[in-house]
Structure 1
Amino acid sequence: MLTIKTFACNMLQENCYIASDETGEAVIIDCGAFYPEERQAIVDYITTNNLTPKHLLATHGHLDHNFGNNTICDVFHLQPEVSHRDKKLIDTLKHQGRHFYNMELDYDFPPVGHYFEDNEIITFGNHEINVIETPGHSKGSVVFYIPTENVLFSGDTLFYRSIGRTDFAEGSMFMIINSLHRLAQLPDNTRVLPGHGMETTIGDELAHNPYMGR
């Protein structure tokens, strides 16, 4: 049985997810917590529920999905895990703050603990997470799929009846369309938890999202 808690974080209302199961082990996905109260809420949820976080996973290397990595590292001693294709992005988070948000961040980010590859399996508790490469929003964008629960954490690749931006330096409309075709092969009833906005399903996106198709 999987329990998923959602935290809407930072000025872009990015979705940070904590997934845990009956063993008490958990994964933190896209910790975009920026404000102190957001960071504290995540720490409090984990400690109050006696969870043991095993992984800090990032769907990609944009700052809004990684603002809070330092807090998770400081408190739970976890380093972020991200695709090797987004190494350039994850290594320049403070630069992203200056360039995109006009802010000078007064803290450092922890180094990456692991770079994962396509089709890699990540384990926690009684569950396995499949890493699926979905380039397009960034070169190293991935989604996390838990087949036993039929749930997909889609990052900024797939949103409710929309898709992620491809106009950034390392974005590609061609690549994201190919990635969406790959996701379209998942079962229609797959629950999709995106990086921003409300959840959806693969079937609903196939029916209503013009970018999706089999």
Structure 2
Amino acid sequence: MLKIETFTCNMLQENCYVVSDESKECVIIDCGAYYEAEKLAIEKYITDNELKPVHLIATHGHLDHNFGNPFISKTYSLPLEIDSSDAALVRATEKQAALFGITLNEPMDMDIKMFHMGDRIKFGSHEIEVIETPGHSMGSVVLYIKDEKLAFTGDTLFRGSIGRTDFEGGSMLMIIQSLRMFVQFPDDIRLLPGHGQETTMGYELAHNPYLDR
């Protein structure tokens, strides 16, 4: 049984997830912690629950999902794991930040481990499948835990909407093609997005104008 703790981070209200099971191993997904209080809250949760972080994962390379990576990487000696198509994007976080008038608190100088479509990321008794869903960015992915009927959708799919495609590397055609993958999920699968509240596949099929069986 998974335990999922959500931390809403930074000026863009991004969702960072700490996911653990009975083994006490955990993965940290999309650590957008920008402010010191956010970093300390995540660290405290991990310490208080006696968790062992074994993976630091990003669903894509945009800055709001990656602010906290250097802190997590240094604290727990973990590389950042990200799709190969977005590795360069996360390396260019300082450039991204300048476009938004944001100053980085620390450089993105952690090690990067690249994954690809179909790779499996294991922790505890669970396995995460990497599903590439380009469109919001070239390297956007969905992280699917089949046994738990759970998927972390990053900025590909939100409750009732989808991620914007007007950033560099974005493509409306590609994201629409990627969305076809979602209709293969069962209706009761939980979808945890990079921003906003969680949803289900059934709700999205009924209410999201971008999805069509």
Distance 2:50 2:151 in 1: 25
Does the residue aligned with 2:148 lie in a helix, a strand or coil? coil
1:136 Cα deviation after fit? 0.3
The code of the aligned residue for 2:134 comes to: P
Does the residue aligned with 2:184 lie in a helix, a strand or coil? coil
Task: State the partner residue of 2:18.
Answer: 18
Distance 1:126 1:110 in 2: 31
Task: State the partner residue of 2:126.
Answer: 127
Residue 117 (structure 1) aligned with residue 113 (structure 2): no
Residue 47 (structure 1) aligned with residue 47 (structure 2): yes
Question: Contact 2:69–2:110 (CA<8 Å) still a contact in 1?
Answer: no
Distance 2:149 2:202 in 1: 12
Deviations 1:163-187 (A, max 9, x none): 0000111100111011111111111
The code of the aligned residue for 1:133 comes to: E
The code of the aligned residue for 2:168 comes to: A
Query: For structure 1, which runs of at least 5 residues remain unmatched after alignment?
Result: none
Task: State the partner residue of 2:159.
Answer: 160
Residue 107 (structure 1) aligned with residue 106 (structure 2): yes
1:38 Cα deviation after fit? 0.4
Identity %: 57
The code of the aligned residue for 1:31 comes to: C
Q: What is the correspondence of 1:130-209 to structure 2 with a 5 Å cutoff?
A: 130-209=129-208
1:106 Cα deviation after fit? 4.1
Task: State the partner residue of 1:3.
Answer: 3
Q: TM-score, normalised by structure 2?
A: 0.98
Question: Contact 2:87–2:112 (CA<8 Å) still a contact in 1?
Answer: no
Q: What is the correspondence of 1:46-85 to structure 2 with a 5 Å cutoff?
A: 46-85=46-85
Distance 1:79 1:117 in 2: 16
Distance 1:126 1:139 in 2: 30
Deviations 1:173-209 (A, max 9, x none): 1110111111111111000000000000011101100
Query: How many residues in Structure 1 have an aligned counterpart in Structure 2?
Result: 213
Question: Contact 2:143–2:151 (CA<8 Å) still a contact in 1?
Answer: yes
Distance 1:189 1:18 in 2: 22
Segments ≥4 residues shifted beyond 4 Å: none
The code of the aligned residue for 1:193 comes to: L
The code of the aligned residue for 1:111 comes to: M
Distance 1:21 1:44 in 2: 17
Distance 2:127 2:174 in 1: 26
Residue 213 (structure 1) aligned with residue 203 (structure 2): no
Question: Contact 1:80–1:110 (CA<8 Å) still a contact in 2?
Answer: no
Q: TM-score, normalised by structure 1?
A: 0.97
Distance 1:120 1:149 in 2: 18
Distance 1:106 1:55 in 2: 22
The code of the aligned residue for 1:158 comes to: L
Question: Contact 1:73–1:110 (CA<8 Å) still a contact in 2?
Answer: no
1:104 Cα deviation after fit? 2.9
